[in-house]
Every structure is written in structure tokens, then in C-alpha cells.
Amino acid sequence: MNLTHPFLDADGDKLREECGIFGVIGTPEAAAMTALGLHALQHRGQEAVGIVSWNGAEFFARRGLGHVAQVFSEGSFLSELPGEMASGHVRYSTTGGQGLRNVQPLYADLARGGFSVAHNGNISNAMHLKHELVNKGAIFQSSSDTEVIIHLIATSRYPTLMDRFIDALRMIEGAYSLICMTPKRMIACRDPLGIRPLVMGKIGDATVFASETVALDVVGATFVREIEPGEIVEVRADGRTTSQRPFGKPAPRPCIFEHVYFSRPDSVMGGQSVYEVRKAIGKELAKEAPVEADLVIPVPDSGVPAAIGYAQQSGIPFELGIIRSHYVGRTFIQPSDGARHADVKRKHNANRALVAGKRIVLIDDSIVRGTTSMKIVQMMRDAGAAEVHMRVASPPTQHSCYYGVDTPERHKLLAARMDVQEMTKFIVADSLAFVSIDGLYRAVGEASRNNAQPQHCDACFSGQYPTRLTDLAEREADADQLPLAVGLDA
């Protein structure tokens, strides 16, 4: 969600979904419901949160750095956000993107009225468009790619706001799920490939939109359906709902990593329980990469469902051989490498009495840089494990994501630099195996991956990006023109 190149957190060993969005129209408790919905989506963004509301006469906003419970801890915030329509956003920041100016939803007064937007995803031609807009006199208040959408709407020559909105969307590429508000309506939409998720629900006469179904559950809303790829849904204050698909119906490419890690396990995505899919991935992994062992141990918490599946398929007992403390802040906020390394041990501790003398299978959702895997393998050895075998519930992450996920530059991804044998030595495991990409597709209900037209966006594994990457291409072209003595980091 930032115009700079996305980087991972300083620890660098977990992919991070950058945003979660929520919106509701048609209830006097709109702001309170939005705060509750954002709390359910806290895993999608833990550094900043914002809510914008509309009371029939004007827009109100409150934004802050920190968790939802910190920023909206007092009941007084409800009086600051009146009205029957509200939308909100939780986010992770990327390099150059910290600070209140980038906290969403973004709001602007346009010629035809106020407009706010909450965005999950990443616009892959945002820098190109920003340069064009700035050259025409536009003044940007943030470094967020989301602000590009507002400027495109403001400068469109179409007569109605909805026509201007559609015109703006036609100019952008990449991934987006949006919840927008105008004085007359709430608008929810997904990009034509549906890369990022968005669902719709109902609670009484109110309509709710959210990144995941778990947010509907938490606020007491009933799931209605997913917003279709390329669909724009408008809901007016009186409840009238209309839908249009101005971009045709290209083959969808929803992000497959939502099933692997991003979504909460108690969500439903594409009609499938995320929890059950993760168990199915573990079963596929057990079929593809069996090993003689005494215990199956998850790397908490994201490895738990896949580890259950692996244990069920293999017949090897499942045990909690690593205990996670839930009262430790995120690793990347530590100021030094030494503090970050110590923080890994504060977050995870070996269950020594269980592990000692055992051959164990460690199950994790992914390996990014490999540093955390190496430390956890060593932790198991220090606890007396006889053998440590690592199994990963996703294919090797070999490519960066440009669709709203924090990933390092490609040369910092372990799987982009090493083959599996080299990675095994790097993390000092007795063996290492990843689920195959076909195994992953089988787990999500497909017979196999259609290599000519993949059913999901799996670019982080395959390198097959489903859209143009204009900003990346222009950066690479500029780098190619630099003198040989000048590196990319100069």
C-alpha cells in the first residue's frame, strides 16, 4: 500500500498481508461495528488503524498508530464518529510508509462531494501514474498508492462520480479490494482478477463488507456472498443495492497464499474453510514427503492446521513441542540484530521434556529468508531432539509479491538463492521438503495447476504474474541505464 518498493519487516521471515478493510451502511452503530470488525481483522495489519464515518451531513475521521484496541480503547470515540455509515482499515507499513499521513481510509473533498477509500492490495503502476499526475499539477499528501485513485477520480472528465470512479479503475493495474464512501452510498469492489478478497454480509437492515468472513462472524452479520472479481457493488442509505461488472469477466486469479497463511483459519474463502484447506495441505505434504519420525510438531501458530493434517495422514503423533508466548511484541520493532534474535526465543520455547531424544517433523507455513527456521531447528537440537526434519506447507517462495504483500527483494528470498539441498544445509535440518504446487492446488480443491492459465495468483511461487508490473519494469529499465559502478541500492 505504499509507493516505495515493499520490504518485509526487519526480521524478514514471514510474509505479511499489508491491509484489512471493513465497512457497514445502515446502522446507527456503524462506527462501533467497524471497530469490532477491524479487531477481527487485526492479523492483517497491526501498526495503524483508521475509521471514517458519515452522519448525513459531513464526514468524520479518527486514525492512529497501534492496534485497534489501543486507538479505539475508549467509548468516547463513538461520539467522534457519528452516523449510519462507516468504513475502516488496518495496515502494516512498508519502508517510507510509516506515520499518520498514510493511515487509511483516505478522504478528500472532490468537486462532486466527499469521497473516502479504504484499500487492500497494491497498484503496480502507481508510481507511473503519480509521475503523470504530479506533472499535471497534482499535490500528494501521502506516499500511499491509494491516493492515486483519489487523484484519478478528481481529474476524470466523466460527468458522474460513479463514472469517474470506473474511469479511474480502468487506468490502474495490480490488485485492489476497495470500500469507498460518498455522501449517497457505500461502494465495494474488487480488481478484475479478484486477487485480494472481499465479502458481503447482512445484519438486520445493514449491509457489511469485509476482507474476511471472520469479521462478519464477530459482528454478528450473516454471510451473503463474495464480491465477484471485477464487480462494483453500490449500497445506498435506504438499502437499495446495485451491481455492475464494467471490466468484463476475465478468468479469476485469487491469491492462493490467503489459504496458506494470510486469512484467519476460522474464515471461509472461495466456499472453503481455511482451516480445512490448511489441514489438506498438511495431508498432501505427508503424501509427498514422508519421513520416519516420532512426533509432528507445528511452528506456532500458523503451522498448526497443516501439522494436524500431516499427523493424521502419516499416523505420527501430533504434539506441541514448541510453546509460543502470546505476550511478546512483533520481532521487527526491536532495534538491533541481537535483540531480534533474542526475541525469537522469547516468542518460542522448546517443550524440552517432550522433544528430548525424539525424531521430530517441524511443520511451518513458509520459509522466506530462512533465518527463523534456522533458529527453531537449532532450538529443537538444543532441547535434545535426535533428528529434526522440516516440512513446509507451501512451495518455495522464489519471487517477490507486488499485489499488497510485504516481501523482500528477490535476492533476499532463500529459495531464490538456493536449491532445497542448499536450504537444508542453511537451516541445519536433517531433511527439508516443500509441498508441490500441484499438491497445494489439490488441497484447495483443484485437480492440478493449469500451467497455461493458473486458477490462482501464485506468482510468489511460480513467477507468473497475472498483471503488468509497470513500476517494476520502469525501475529495472532505469537501473539498466546506470553506470556499471552504481548499484541498485545507491
Q: Judge whether 189 counts as a catalytic residue.
A: no
Residue 241 CB partners (closer than 8 Å, separation 6+): 207, 233, 234, 235
Residue 189 CB burial class (10 angstroms; 0-12, 13-18, ≥19): buried
Tens digit of pLDDT for each residue in 156-200?
999 999 999 999 999 999 999 999 999 999 999 999 999 999 999
Per-residue model confidence (pLDDT) at position 403? 93
Give the pLDDT band of residue 210 (cuts 50, 70, 90).
Answer: very high
Per-residue model confidence (pLDDT) at position 478? 78
Pairing of strands 48-54, 19-25: unpaired
Phi (first) and psi of residue 306, to 5 degrees: -65, -35
Give the pLDDT band of residue 88 (cuts 50, 70, 90).
Answer: very high
Domain boundaries, the chain: 16-254, 279-462
DSSP states of 53-102 as a string?
EE-SS-EEEEEEES-HHHHT-STTHHHHS-SSEEEEEEE---TT--SGGG
Among 19, 189, 457, 460, the one annotated catalytic: 19
Tens digit of pLDDT for each residue in 248-306?
889 999 999 999 999 999 999 999 999 999 999 999 999 999 999 999 999 998 999 99
Q: Across-strand partners of 62?
A: 51
CATH 3.40.50.1260 is the classification of domain 16-254: no
Give the pLDDT band of residue 373 (cuts 50, 70, 90).
Answer: very high
Whether pLDDT at 24 is above 50: yes
Region 101-117: what's the mean pLDDT?
92
Domain range 279-462, its CATH number among 2.60.200.30, 3.40.50.620, 3.40.50.2020, 3.40.50.300: 3.40.50.2020
Tens digit of pLDDT for each residue in 111-144?
888 999 999 999 999 999 999 999 999 999 988 8
